[in-house]
Amino acid sequence: MALSIWLSLLMISLLGAMSPGPSLAMVAKHSLTGGRWHGIATAWAHACGVGLYALLVILGLATLLHQSPTLFKLISYAGAAYLAYLGMNALRSKGGIADKLATGQAASLAEAARDGIMISLLNPKLGLYFIALFSQFVAAGSDLSSRAMVVATPFMVDGLWYTLVACLLSQAGVLQRLRQQAQWIDRLSGVVLILLACRVIWSS
């Protein structure tokens, strides 16, 4: 896989992880109520779910590309439209992270890990996001190493990002600063997603 393509994958994986949503809320909940290690357990369990989604999607898209290039191209266009839709929603966002960082009673490490993997596996939008995102990367590289990179990158980015979130939220005063920057995170994600949608259409 070319370095430029991998850097695109890395950036989109990072912005996807950073976008406020139920996953961030779950990691924040366990970090704030159970402490740093509860947040880290939630983070890497969530990353496992992300990795599984990525693996299933890339295998399915690779098979589709081989069997029906025309249908693959249509899915790529639909994916581009979905990315543009996500981008527009992010640009219009008011920074909803403040409303999503719910707290509650502390759970065990096993319960924190369970919540982490379930919040990813039971989120259908995650599957749609990967289908939209991965179509260009499947087409760019069909060898085993390239596909492994496409799966490993979002897995590692997701786990490391939410580990950072868990560590930061264990520090006093960080939560309020995170809330203040949420709208800018949304806007940056929106711009990049729209640009990616344009790139998918251009490359198809």
For the chain, which residues make up each domain, given as ranges? 3-7+23-203
Angle of the 144-169 helix axis to the 3-18 helix axis, nearest 10? 30
Least confident segment among 13-22, 30-39, 44-53: 13-22
Question: What is the band of 135 on the pLDDT scale with cuts at 50, 70, 90?
Answer: low
Q: Which residue has the higher pLDDT, 178 or 96?
A: 178
Greatest extent of the chain over all pairs of C-alpha atoms, in Å: 54
Please determine, for residue 40, whether its predicted confidence score (pLDDT) is greater than 90. yes
The residue whose two tokens read 């949608």 is 197
Question: What is the band of 43 on the pLDDT scale with cuts at 50, 70, 90?
Answer: very high
pLDDT of residue 98: 47
Please determine, for residue 161, whether its predicted confidence score (pLDDT) is greater than 50. yes
DSSP 172: T
Question: Can you give the pTM of this predicted structure?
Answer: 0.68
The residue whose two tokens read 């990002």 is 161
Question: What is the band of 157 on the pLDDT scale with cuts at 50, 70, 90?
Answer: very high
Q: What percent of the chain has pLDDT over 90?
A: 11
DSSP 107: -
Written as six digits, the tokens of 105 are 């009673």
Angle of the 36-67 helix axis to the 144-169 helix axis, nearest 10? 160
Please determine, for residue 173, whether its predicted confidence score (pLDDT) is greater than 70. no
Triad 29, 157, 69: Cα angle to 5°: 120
Q: What percent of the chain has pLDDT over 70?
A: 72
Mean pLDDT for 64-83 is 73
Q: Which residues contact 197 (CB under 8 A, 6 or more apart)?
A: 80, 81, 83, 84, 87
Mean pLDDT for 122-148 is 70
Q: How many CB atoms lie within 10 A of CB 111?
A: 15
